[in-house]
Amino acid sequence: TFSVIVPCLMAIFLNNLNLWEHLDIIIGFCLYAITGNTLNDMIDAKNPEEKETIERIKGFHWKEIATISIISFVFGTMLFVRTIRTHPINLLILIMIIGMVVFYCIKKDLPIINQILLGVSHVFLPYLIIKIDSSIEPLLTPGEWFLMFCFFSFTFTGQIVHEIIDGDSITRFSLRVQQLTVLISSIITITMGIAILFIIEFEKSIYFLPFCLIPIGSIYTFRKPTSSTKGVKDVGIILGNIILVYFLVLILMFINLS
């Protein structure tokens, strides 16, 4: 969930937007995340090797999971009605997001391509929907473009690590290739994160400094070709939720300062 919500909060934070005016979109994405996760679980549960997923949904019939998925999708869609009526282009973007996520769930065996699709659907497009909804011009400043590439790299690294742990498509490559993929994307993220300090106004760019430190953990974990442990995945989930709370606090803090 946090991977979709954080870009929305970033758009609100950087552009001094009113959180409450875009709350329907944020909650809509939360409900869509439930839809995506349950759909993913239904597909993964068909694979006997997905022991973690099978254990997680133990006691649930696929029809019950499908019901949760459909209901969350319907309610989530209704929360996008306002912005779609005001900005019809957001309907097209929403359809693109849904299409990319469904494609990922069905074709998880495609390495790299799926990580790129997830990055676009979870980072760039949600950010774009908030910006369009705010009617601010220009749609994306040069600094925001750079930030999107940086956060995309950050998300890409996290997703690669996630797939290595789960034994997904990326593991068809050798451990050495997996290691190099994580190291290169981590170094790119750190470099771009430092550059952001000089591109975006310092008053807010300083708060992106911690993002330069997180990939160091990935570099340390994959300093040698290795199959990562589940503990790393749990740490990633905790960090994701910390980042979500972090941006919520920043938004509320700057509201009080303005």
pLDDT in tens, 57-85: 777 777 888 899 899 999 999 999 999 99
Kindly list the distances between the CA atom of residue 192 and the CA atoms of 66, 181, 187, 188, 249, in Å, as whole numbers in the listed order: 40, 17, 9, 6, 24
Instruction: Summarize the confidence of residues 153-172 as an average pLDDT.
Output: 74
Residue boundaries of the structural domains of the chain: 2-257
DSSP H helical segments within 45-141, as ranges? 51-56, 62-78, 81-86, 89-106, 113-119, 125-134
**pTM confidence score:** 0.87
pLDDT in tens, 179-237: 788 888 888 888 888 887 777 776 777 888 888 888 888 788 777 776 656 666 677 77
- HSE, CB side, 13 Å, CA atoms: give it for residue 206: 2
Residue 149's pLDDT is 85
> Using CA atoms, how far apart are residues 6 and 109, in angstroms rounded to an integer?
27
